[in-house]
A and B are shown apart, each in its own frame.
Chain A
Amino acid sequence: MPVFDTLTLASLPAADEALRAAVRALADEVVANAPADIRARSWSGFDPAFSRRLGAAGFLGLTLPKAYGGQERGPFARFVVVEELLSAGAPVAAHWIADRQSAPLILNYGSEAQRETYIPRICRGEFVFCIGMSEPGSGSDLASVRTRAERTTSGWCVNGQKIWTTGAMHGDYMIALVRTSGTGEDRHAGLSQLIIDLKAPGVTVRPITDLAGDAHFAEVFFDNVDLPVDALIGNEGEGWKQVTAELAFERSGPERIYSSVVLLDAWIAHLRATGRDDGATLALVGDFTARLATLRAMSIACTARLALGESPVIEASLVKDLGTAFEQELPVAIGDDLAAHPGEEVDAELYRTLMFVTYVAPSFSLRGGTREVLRGIIARGMGLR
């Protein structure tokens, strides 16, 4: 009988497809004057005004209940909106994490008061969230986090450090995985999630410049940061379970196939302008096209599982691993192609885009779970232990 047959062709419902034109109009407007190398920075593009415009137009909180300011449309609607934003190269950093992960997490595990405090403003694009997972000594081995929150008479006192925190310098809040009891030896037990107000006394955020000259992630220090008792999300000690569910949101969207798509389109525009159409060129274009089409169908298949209320952890890992391999191969192959035709002029914008994507491509298979971690999850799904 079939294996992994939960991933099967699905199509986007017409009602969700209908959102496309309106979100495209907004995205096209915001990128109208942006060169490809800026559009290629879609994920790290920080434009709070644009995020608020998306919120006002009903394009945030698509999977969240109306009671909290969401649209109650579901994962397919989110797929359409995200696909449009990323393929246009629109700046999404001001709402991305809050909309994708933080709000669903708060909805699932937060108290009623937390839901009412945070979710409506996330849906309006007003609150910027970041996720405090990695630490200097905790990368893929997340259970080894050492940032600690101690109970106080008034709530919690946090000490420690997070690093590689995307968007922390712009963030209003961090949802941090911290140890509330036990030690690293206890592994998954004793971990909890706290909402940390990044403007609280004792929080220091220091941006980290990356190899492409951007500062999209940061280190965050906590020095006796006092938080109220309701900073805890969900149950004390259940942070691991919550984080695992949160990562499933992160791994399963269309964002895992489109990181290099602005470069792909810039290269295709170059080929169309030069008129180059030899067999090797056509084969490379065709290979990318076939893989993009298939990955998109796989991503929609995964979205269909989300729409059924499942948490498709294995399926999402499968799509993400294959998707990031594609995203990483694009700059390698496009660089080879362009430099194999030295007589062809490559304009400065395409060259900058190529080099930007080339430099940041390694991050595609690090963020949200490394390639090796994902393959381990898939292997367990195949019954390998």
Chain B
Amino acid sequence: MSEFLEPFERMLEDVATPAAVRAVERGSSIAAMWGAFAESGFLDALVPEDRGGAGLPLAEVQPLWVALGRHAVPLPVGETMIARALLPDAPEGPIVLAVAEGATVVVPCGLVAAHFLFESGAGLHMVAAKGEATGVPASLAARIDPRPLPAPVAPSPEGGLRTIAAILRAALIAGAAERLTQMTAAYANERVQFGKPIGRQQALQQEMAVMAEEMVAARIASQLGCAGSFPPSLVAAATAKSIASRAAARVAATAHAVHGAIGISEEHDLQLFTRRLHEWRLADGSESYWNRLLGAERLKDARRSVDFVREAL
């Protein structure tokens, strides 16, 4: 386990309680929660040491991103880590990442960001903006039209910004999926129907076993995505986001199926995680988006499939 995970996790337990997450979603000030991250130094985890950062390898940052997902953190902490690593003069405050391809985009955490880092063509552009609410209740995602963009502040990272955003997103999904798996198993052991805990029903046990499989697959795929250098390769990012996005919808579905009606209610914490899973599944490319790119890479290659995955990852 990364030595940084334990203090990070402690901080999350402190500042990102379900009540605090809900407060941010209702529009309360993010100052206290963001302040905790800013003061902790973790925002510079990926910044090279010669620029005053921690210079952590991607593989050591991955568990931190997973932890953000495990706590449904409502702020773009991972995104800001990435932006600060890419830009020597990144502005203070929360930054979100997006790729401008002409059309209006939906960006998770956009409503609580101070800046949007857009990639357009071969350049990165920093925009101080707020974006508009999507109209989806409690969602902190923002719709924003990137046009017109100011002059670029830096060239695009190798492989593009979406590749980096995808490995973050996969890690967040893995974390939320982990929390949901735990919550669901615990609930199944408590909830009594037909005179016994529903977790004793074989039909539910089988569904929850598959849920655990999907969750572990998402976590391992996320680790594969973060196993190499920063920025990640296309194959690594595609594998991570494809598997995590695929798992996201399935894990959310089983979590709700087992919880029954209470899991649909606002007052239950389940929705803090399942809503995010759906949002993160779509953000930065769904499974089909990444599958197409990965499939194209695969078909360029005459080797056996096992050799392809072994050597490309």
A residues contacting B by CB (< 8 A) are 1-4, 7-9, 83, 87-88, 258, 261, 264-265, 268, 271-272, 277, 279, 281-298, 301, 318, 321-322, 372, 374-376, 378-379, 381-385
Complex partner residue of A321 from B186, B209, B307, CB under 8 angstroms: B209
Is B282 part of the binding interface, using a Cβ–Cβ cutoff of 8 Å?
no
On whether A290 and B185 interact (CB within 8 A), knowing A2-B178, A298-B216, the answer reads no
Is B208 touching A9 in the complex (CB atoms < 8 A)?
A: no
Asked if residues A378 and B305 are in contact (CB atoms below 8 Å), the reply is: no
Q: Is B181 in contact with A289, judged by CB distance below 8 angstroms?
A: no
Q: Which of B229-275 contact A (CB under 8 A)?
A: 235, 238-239, 242-243, 246
Q: Kindly name the residue among B219, B223, B293, B305 whose own CB sees the greatest number of chain A CB atoms within 10 A.
A: B305
List CB contacts (< 8 Å) of B278-301 with chain A: 287-288, 290-296, 298-299
Binary contact readout B163-186 vs A (1 if CB under 8 angstroms, 0 otherwise): 000000000000000100110011
For A296, the closest partner residue in chain B by CB is: B309
CB < 8 Å neighbour of A264 from B186, B242, B305: B305
User: What residues make up the interface of B, taking CB atoms closer than 8 Å to A?
Assistant: 9, 66, 178, 181-182, 185-186, 188-189, 197, 199-200, 202, 204-206, 208-210, 212-213, 215-217, 219-221, 223-224, 227, 235, 238-239, 242-243, 246, 287-288, 290-296, 298-299, 302, 304-310, 312-313
A375 touches B205 (CB 8 A): yes
Partner of A293, one of B219, B224, B292, B304: B224
* Contact pick for A294, options B9, B243, B296, CB 8 Å: B243
Measured between C-beta atoms, what is the minimum distance from B120 to chain A in Å? 24
Pick the 8 closest A-B CB pairs, nearest first: A286-B291, A286-B295, A285-B295, A282-B295, A286-B294, A379-B205, A375-B209, A378-B209
Interchain Cβ contacts under 8 Å between A and B, 16 examples:
A3-B182, A279-B292, A282-B296, A285-B291, A286-B298, A288-B305, A290-B242, A290-B294, A291-B243, A293-B239, A297-B313, A321-B213, A376-B202, A376-B209, A382-B209, A384-B205
- Point out the residues of chain A lying under 8 angstroms from B308, CB to CB: 289
Q: A4-B215, A294-B221, A318-B212 are in contact. Are A265 and B304 (CB under 8 A)?
A: yes
Inter-subunit contact A383/B189 (CB<8 Å): yes
List 19 additional contacts besides A284-B291, A286-B296, A301-B220; criterion CB under 8 Å.
A3-B182, A3-B212, A4-B216, A9-B227, A88-B304, A261-B305, A265-B305, A271-B299, A277-B296, A282-B291, A286-B238, A286-B293, A287-B242, A289-B239, A290-B239, A293-B224, A374-B209, A375-B210, A381-B212
* Distance in angstroms between the alpha carbons of A376 and B209 in the assembled complex: 7
Main secondary structure of the interface of A (DSSP, over half): helix
A289 contacts which of B178, B209, B295 (Cβ < 8 Å)? B295
Cα–Cα, bound, A1→B181 (Å) = 12
Give the Cβ gap from B191 to chain A, nearest Cβ, in Å.
12
Chain B residues lying within 8 Å of A382, measured Cβ to Cβ, are: 181, 185, 208-209, 212
**What are the residues of chain B within 8 A of A301 when measuring CB–CB?**
220
Distance, CA A284 to CA B312, complexed state (A): 18
Known contacts A87-B304, A298-B217, A322-B213: does B298 contact A289 (CB below 8 Å)? yes
- One of A281, A282, A287, A298 near B220 (C-beta < 8 A): A298
A286 engages B209 (CB within 8 Å): no
Residues in B neighbouring A381, C-beta threshold 8 A: 212
Instruction: Check B309 against A289 for contact (C-beta < 8 Å).
Output: yes
CB neighbours of A3 from chain B (8 A): 178, 181-182, 212, 215
Measured in the bound complex, the distance between the Cα atoms of B224 and A298 in whole Å is 10
How many angstroms from the CA of A88 to the CA of B239 in the assembled complex? 24
CA distance A241 to B210 in the complex (A): 26
- Of chain B, the residue at the smallest CB distance from A382 is B185
Nearest-neighbor residue (CB-CB) of B211 within chain A? A382
**Chain A residues whose C-beta falls within 8 Å of the C-beta of B246 in the assembled complex:** 287
CA distance A294 to B287 in the complex (A): 14
Give A264's nearest chain B residue, CB to CB.
B305
